[in-house]
Amino acid sequence: MPLAASSDPMNPTRSFQGLLLTLQRFWAERGCVILQPYDMEVGAGTFHPATTLRALGPKPWKAAYVQPSRRPKDGRYGENPNRLQHYYQFQVILKPSPPDLQQLYLDSLKAIGVDLALHDVRFVEDDWESPTLGAWGLGWECWCDGMEVSQFTYFQQVAGVECAPVAGELTYGLERLAMYVQGVENVYDLNFNGLEGEDRISYGDVFLQAEQEFSRHNFEYANTETLFRHFSDAEAECKALLAAGEAEEGANSAQHKLALPAYDQCIKASHVFNLLDARGVISVTERQSYILRVRELAKACGAAWLKTAGGGAN
């Protein structure tokens, strides 16, 4: 695909939003539904039910979306040129994984302005595992000139359930990619809207203050007592919804009625745990047990999802 003239603000090499829109268009043209971010705090695009839950069950599924991801521990008060506690992931999920997924991925890089005759793109072993989601897969880190720009995973198991069929997941680190194609050393210097002069909006204009404030919140001010309570509440609510949604004995349909609301509570518990972890109030031994508690919720939600229409139950 020929690039638009470089003066075009929507050119993926000129603006952050241009990059994002180019990826959306690219994957839309390949049959993906373009979703909007999930409206909850998550640590990675994988947590979006469009990935976690849709990866389960026999139904084909193709989706792409941007997901703001929160990693409270990675906050650096806006002082580190490439570490953020809030950043964007672009997520693609294709179920079943198509045979030419690697080529599709390379084509998407071309679309955002990476010249494959000039840049060294490599697939380097990186097996993915999410202990909290009870999920794992095999795949690679995708390197561009030695920089990791994406994660490429063939899901083998999610929520403790074998994937059948297997879904392919692509996760682009948007800020990193944008820094690369814009040739910028500091994330806050990224051109966000592609305009120049007074009209130019940088990534820093949009997010620097948020990074500073949320770093303070994550490390210093988040009320840990409240958070511990939130964790327990979410855990209890998740379990209650899972129980309440089960089909009654002898009912016509064996479907689960509340898998998605229950999963929301699982997401909530996971994020609260991340915050507590950032506050440093969870000891090494406790940490493991919290991860296990979230995983139990995820597994139960996955099991419930398989009893819904979306999960392939009749």
Partner 1 sequence: MPDLLLELFSEEIPARMQRKAAEDLKKLVTDALVERGLTYEGAKAFATPRRLALTIAGLPVRGRDVREERKGPRVGAPDAAVQGFLKATGLASLNQATIVSDPKKGDSYVAVIEKPGQETVAAIAEIVPAVIRSFPWPKSMRWGKASAESGSLRWVRPLHSILCTFGAETEDPEVVPFEVDGIKSGNVTYGHRFHAPGPITVKRFDDYVPSLERAKVVLDADRRKEIILADARNLAFAAGLELVEDEGLLEEVAGLVEWPVVLMGDFEERFLDIPGEAIRATIRANQKCFVLRDPATGELANRFIPVSNLMASDGGLAITAGNGRVVRARLSDAAYFWQTDRGPLPDLDTLKESAEKLGLDLAKPLDQRMAKLDKLGVVFHAKLGTQGERVQRIAALAKELAPIVGADPALAERTARLAKADLPTEMVGEFPELQGLMGRKYAELQGETASVAAAIEEHYKPLGPSDRVPTDPVSVAVALADKLDTLVGFWAIDEKPTGSKDPYALRRAALGVIRLILENGVRLELIPLLTKHGDRFSGHDSINSAFELVQFIAERLKVQLRDQGARFDLVDAVLETGVRREAMLPGMSNSRDLVLIVQRLNALGRFLDTEDGRNLLAGYRRAANILKAEEKKDGEGAFAEAPKLELIADAGLIEEKGLAVALAQATPKAEAAIAAEDYEGAMAALAELRPAVDAFFDKVTVNDPDPALRANRLKLLNQLREATRAVADFGRIAG
Interface contacts to partner 1, rule CB under 8 A: 58, 81-82, 96-99, 102, 115-125, 127, 137-140, 144-147, 154, 156, 163-166, 168, 180, 185, 283-285
Amino acid type, 263: Y
Q: Could you tell me the smallest distance in angstroms from the CB atom of residue 104 to partner 1?
A: 13
- Nearer to partner 1 among residue 33 and residue 116 (C-beta): 116
Length of the chain: 314
Q: Could you tell me the smallest distance in angstroms from the CB atom of residue 180 to partner 1?
A: 7
Q: Could you tell me the smallest distance in angstroms from the CB atom of residue 226 to partner 1?
A: 23
Taking the C-alpha atoms of residue 245 and residue 239, their distance in angstroms, rounded to an integer, is 10
Q: Note whether 78 and 212 are within 8 A (CB).
A: yes
Q: Could you tell me the smallest distance in angstroms from the CB atom of residue 278 to partner 1?
A: 16
Q: Which two tokens stand for residue 25?
A: 């268009």
Contacts of 140 by beta carbon, 8 Å cutoff, 6+ apart: 123, 124, 125, 126, 151, 152
Q: Could you tell me the smallest distance in angstroms from the CB atom of residue 247 to partner 1?
A: 25
Q: Could you tell me the smallest distance in angstroms from the CB atom of residue 305 to partner 1?
A: 17
Taking the C-alpha atoms of residue 33 and residue 88, their distance in angstroms, rounded to an integer, is 18
Q: Could you tell me the smallest distance in angstroms from the CB atom of residue 200 to partner 1?
A: 23
3-state secondary structure of 173: strand
Cis peptide before 165 (omega within 30 of 0): yes
- Nearer to partner 1 among residue 25 and residue 71 (C-beta): 71
Q: Note whether 193 and 17 are within 8 A (CB).
A: yes
- Nearer to partner 1 among residue 195 and residue 221 (C-beta): 221
- Nearer to partner 1 among residue 154 and residue 228 (C-beta): 154
DSSP string, 232-270: HHHHHHHHHHHHHHSPPTT-S----S-HHHHHHHHHHHH
Closest CA to 28 of 62, 68, 2: 62
- Nearer to partner 1 among residue 164 and residue 309 (C-beta): 164
- Nearer to partner 1 among residue 102 and residue 255 (C-beta): 102
Q: Note whether 166 and 176 are within 8 A (CB).
A: no
Taking the C-alpha atoms of residue 22 and residue 33, their distance in angstroms, rounded to an integer, is 15
- Nearer to partner 1 among residue 40 and residue 154 (C-beta): 154
